Amino acid sequence: MELSDIMKNRIPQDFEALRQAIVERRDDLPKRLIQVAIYSLDNPDEIAFGTVASIAASAAVQPSTLVRFAQQFGFDGFSGLQQIFRARLKERNSTYEERLKALEADSAEVSENIGILNGFLSAAGRSVESLSHSIDPAIFEQSVEILAKADTIYLLAKRRAAPISTYMAYAFGKLRVRNQLIATSVGIDEDLVAMAGPNDAAIAISFSPYSPETVGQAKMMTDRDIPLIAITDSAFSPLAGGASAWFEIVEADHAGFRSLSAGMALAMALTVAVAEWRRRHQKNM
């Protein structure tokens, strides 16, 4: 029996099952299907609402590639796969979604500046709401314990992700948690990374297009078996594969600009939870 026949016998019934199936097969899919997989996980709302032609254009593939992708996971055609993405939207809190749509609708009746503000508020709300549905409590608990047990927490991030690591460094410092922000102005970042030892841990943060510096520094950590917690935006991110635990964050955008709303919320939750874990366990020691 061929792999495609096996997959037909276990067609994903919901978005999470589909996502897991895609992640499990990320090393086996042909290049073009991987391209569709990445686009699908990064843009689930577009998959739900788009046409085959519009989705294919956005993903830079042929429409027939979308059909082949759907068939790889047991669906007869793309419309069957699309129903999974539409069902995902229906499961969300409708009242919350209506409030966000009202914000956007109001933008037509206000000044351009307030319209921009409302657009970013809407995007920030969607980002945080999406994270609240996708976060795995077990992974969060595991990450907190790994970080809390570390002597020093190394913070790796560049470009758009840099504000997250910078604020984590500030918060860890205020909470008396030893950390090292890898963001020097004198070009010794890799030297600092090389100082990490087996009793340390690292947090790497990067979103597409991924920072080569962050990816390289994260690999330096994992090559030496130093636990790495990754915050990224796709199961296909170069940070996800070698991480001890990783979180997927897809920030909604407004006018092509993505905020860091969900990333900041997760980062601060991790920071405070690590400090609280240490306080509880030190008290019991």
What pLDDT digit, counting tens, does each position of 14-52 carry?
A: 887 888 888 888 878 888 998 898 888 878 888 888 888
Torsion-angle region of 126 (φ positive above 0: left; ψ -120 to 50: alpha; else: beta): alpha
Examine the domain organization and report whether 67 and 111 are in the same domain. Answer: no
Examine the domain organization and report whether 38 and 105 are in the same domain. Answer: no
Q: Which of 80, 108, 132 is the last residue of a domain?
A: 132
Q: Which of 132, 153, 185 is the last residue of a domain?
A: 132
Q: What is the CATH classification number for the domain harbouring 7?
A: 1.10.10.10
Q: What is the CATH classification number for the domain harbouring 227?
A: 3.40.50.10490
Examine the domain organization and report whether 193 and 254 are in the same domain. Answer: yes
Torsion-angle region of 163 (φ positive above 0: left; ψ -120 to 50: alpha; else: beta): alpha
Residue 62 DSSP SS3: coil
Examine the domain organization and report whether 229 and 207 are in the same domain. Answer: yes
pLDDT of residue 219: 94
> Do 16 and 130 meet the contact criterion of CB atoms below 8 Å apart?
no
For 206, other C-beta atoms within 10 Å of its C-beta total: 27
Torsion-angle region of 255 (φ positive above 0: left; ψ -120 to 50: alpha; else: beta): left
Examine the domain organization and report whether 153 and 267 are in the same domain. Answer: yes
> Do 276 and 283 meet the contact criterion of CB atoms below 8 Å apart?
no
Examine the domain organization and report whether 259 and 189 are in the same domain. Answer: yes
Examine the domain organization and report whether 84 and 107 are in the same domain. Answer: no
Domains held by the chain: number: 3
Examine the domain organization and report whether 212 and 112 are in the same domain. Answer: no
Q: Which residue range is the domain that position 64 belongs to?
A: 3-90
Helix axes 261-284, 162-174, angle to 10 degrees: 30
pLDDT of residue 43: 80
Measured CA to CA, the distance from residue 228 to residue 201 in angstroms comes to 6
Examine the domain organization and report whether 185 and 113 are in the same domain. Answer: no
Strand partners, 258: 253
Examine the domain organization and report whether 27 and 111 are in the same domain. Answer: no
Examine the domain organization and report whether 18 and 141 are in the same domain. Answer: no
pLDDT of residue 284: 56
- The number of C-alpha atoms within 13 Å of 152 and in the hemisphere containing its C-beta is 15
The encoded tokens of residue 117 equal 């503000």
User: pLDDT tens digits, residue range 133-150?
Assistant: 888 899 999 999 999 999
- 93 φ/ψ angles, rounded to the nearest 5 degrees: -70, 115
**CA distances from residue 59 to 37, 96, 210 in whole angstroms, order as listed:** 9, 29, 18
Examine the domain organization and report whether 115 and 141 are in the same domain. Answer: no
The contacts found for 94-97 with CB under 8 angstroms, 24 or more apart, are: 96/125, 96/129
Q: Which of 65, 90, 115 is the last residue of a domain?
A: 90
Render each residue's pLDDT in the chain as its tens digit; 285 residues.
344 444 445 788 888 788 888 888 887 888 899 889 888 887 888 888 888 888 988 889 998 999 999 988 888 888 888 888 888 766 654 445 555 565 556 555 667 788 788 888 888 888 888 888 888 899 999 999 999 999 999 999 998 899 999 999 999 999 999 999 998 777 788 889 889 999 999 999 998 888 899 999 999 999 999 999 999 988 888 898 889 999 988 887 777 778 888 999 999 999 999 999 999 887 554
